[in-house]
Structure 1
Amino acid sequence: GKFESDLIPIVDALHKTVHELFPNEQPALLHGDLWSGNYMFTKSGDACIYDPAVYYGHREMDLAMTRLFGGFSSDFYE
C-alpha cells in the first residue's frame, strides 16, 4: 500500500518511544511468516516449519500471525 507522508511524524515519534513503551522486551529472532501453510510433519512425526521471512521483533509476533491467519489447534498454544 501507499505510505502517506502525514504518517511520517507519527511513526518517527513511535520509533523514539518504543523502548519506553516496552522497556523489558528484547528483540527476538522470529520466523516471520508462521501460519498453517508453512508447517508440516516429517514421516517420523517431527514438526517442521519452513518458508521463513526472518526478522527481529516482539517475541509474540509469530503467535499473533498464527491467530491472524486461521490459527492452529489449541495444543499448539499450550
Structure 2
Amino acid sequence: MHMGHYCAINIHQDMLKHRYGQTPVCKELSEFPSIMGLAVGKKAVIYDSTTGTASGEDLMASYFGNDLANSSKC
C-alpha cells in the first residue's frame, strides 16, 4: 500500500509537469531489509536479510501472535 501511494504521488507529479510545466518533486522509498515469515504448525520459519534463517515457537509468537496476525490487521 505504501509503495502504491508513492507511485500515485509520482504519477500525479508527472501529470503536473506535462500539464503546467511544474518541476516534479518525486517520492522515493527508503531502503528496508528483506523479511519473509512462514507459519508451520506451532512454529515459524523466518528469513531476514541481516540475520539469515531462524525458526521456533518464540518467532511464531512475535511475528504471528496466536491468530496468524489477523488481529494486527484491525
Q: TM-score range by the shorter chain?
A: under 0.3
Structure whose alpha-carbon radius of gyration is higher: 2
Question: Structure 1 or 2: larger strand share?
Answer: 2
TM-score when normalising by structure 2: 0.23
Higher RCO (CA 8 Å, separation ≥ 6 residues): 1
TM-score when normalising by structure 1: 0.22
